[in-house]
Amino acid sequence: MQLWTIRPRALRVKGVLPGFGLTMGTTLLFISLVVLLPLSALLIQAASLSPGEFWRIISSERAVATYKLTLSSALIASIFNVFFGLLLAWILTRYQFPGRSLLDAIVDLPFALPTAVAGLSLAFLFTSHGWIGQYLEPMGIQVAYTQLGIIAAMAFTSAPFVIRSVQPVLEDMEPELEEAAAILGASPWQIFQGIILPTIMPALLAGFSLALARSLGEFGAIIFIAGNMPFETEITALLIMIRLEEYNYAGAAAIASVVLAAALVMLLIINLLQGRIYRARSDS
């Protein structure tokens, strides 16, 4: 790795365009209002607990069960979306077929739909009398009111992230790169994994991390299809909601701060990964 050729990016802040002070100031103000202020309110709430209490709440068996369920479901849903999203982005960029623009438009639907509506429709689809559920049930596959349902809801609401991250990169890929590889004797699979995949990797990772973040925070779509049984199908966001309904604000805040910390750590890791990929191919 050629570390010595990497110019420190921070030095590029002073550009030809004026207004750095103004834009940076405005940005910081907005970040403070929209992000930092609510977060500190949350932390202050949680801080009203003694460390012992705090620890007891966040490590309670029921809370830990929700972390495990939420995290594993979000990971599975996001990984599923990496494959599914890549496939869809591929089809949308590489092939011309009737209905292509319609499909392209439908991709954004999970963003436009109120998540409760998404959850309801999924529940209708997957209950034992639903369109899909009635066929899955006899095969022994229960989606509604199980973790599968949670994963389905998460995958549905976060699907556009991967597609929309990868699509522009695929569109911009020079066809010559694949042609050059083909002339050198590479098989289609070798071209895909050796040339195309490395090119879209940063975008794929970005899509993955966005989908993961969204899945961790998803609430509306999930509660309709998850059974919401404590220890079984209860996600962390629901537990927070329940604590709130019990007027246990400090308890809700304590659990929420765990979610917050987890989200931050995960985004940080993914950002570092991405930075490494981008830097390894610093475009001149």
Q: Which residues bind another protein (CB under 8 A)?
A: 2, 5, 174, 176-177, 179-187, 190, 194-195, 198-199, 280-284
Counting beta carbons within 10 angstroms of the beta carbon of residue 85, is it exposed (0 to 12), middle (13 to 18) or buried (19 or more)?
A: buried
Kindly state the smallest distance separating residue 200's Cβ from another protein, in Å: 11
Kindly state the smallest distance separating residue 234's Cβ from another protein, in Å: 43
Q: How open is the CA angle 20-25-26, to the nearest 5 degrees? A: 105
User: What type of residue sits at position 191?
Assistant: I
Kindly state the smallest distance separating residue 194's Cβ from another protein, in Å: 7
CB 123 within 8 A of CB 226: no
By beta-carbon proximity to another protein, the closer residue of 25 and 194 is 194
Kindly state the smallest distance separating residue 10's Cβ from another protein, in Å: 21
CA distances from 127 to 123, 150, 158, 180, 205 (A): 6, 13, 22, 51, 33
**How far is it, in rounded angstroms, from Cα 233 to Cα 123?**
14
By beta-carbon proximity to another protein, the closer residue of 155 and 181 is 181
Question: DSSP letters along 39-89, please?
Answer: HHHHHHHHHTS-HHHHHHHHTSHHHHHHHHHHHHHHHHHHHHHHHHHHHHH
By beta-carbon proximity to another protein, the closer residue of 96 and 284 is 284
Kindly state the smallest distance separating residue 2's Cβ from another protein, in Å: 7
By beta-carbon proximity to another protein, the closer residue of 114 and 188 is 188
By beta-carbon proximity to another protein, the closer residue of 182 and 242 is 182
Kindly state the smallest distance separating residue 78's Cβ from another protein, in Å: 24
**How far is it, in rounded angstroms, from Cα 21 to Cα 82?**
39
Kindly state the smallest distance separating residue 173's Cβ from another protein, in Å: 11
Name the H helices within the chain.
20-31, 37-47, 51-58, 61-94, 100-106, 109-112, 115-126, 133-136, 147-172, 175-183, 188-191, 197-217, 220-225, 236-245, 249-280
**How far is it, in rounded angstroms, from Cα 58 to Cα 257?**
9
By beta-carbon proximity to another protein, the closer residue of 171 and 246 is 171
By beta-carbon proximity to another protein, the closer residue of 20 and 278 is 278
Kindly state the smallest distance separating residue 276's Cβ from another protein, in Å: 12
By beta-carbon proximity to another protein, the closer residue of 2 and 50 is 2
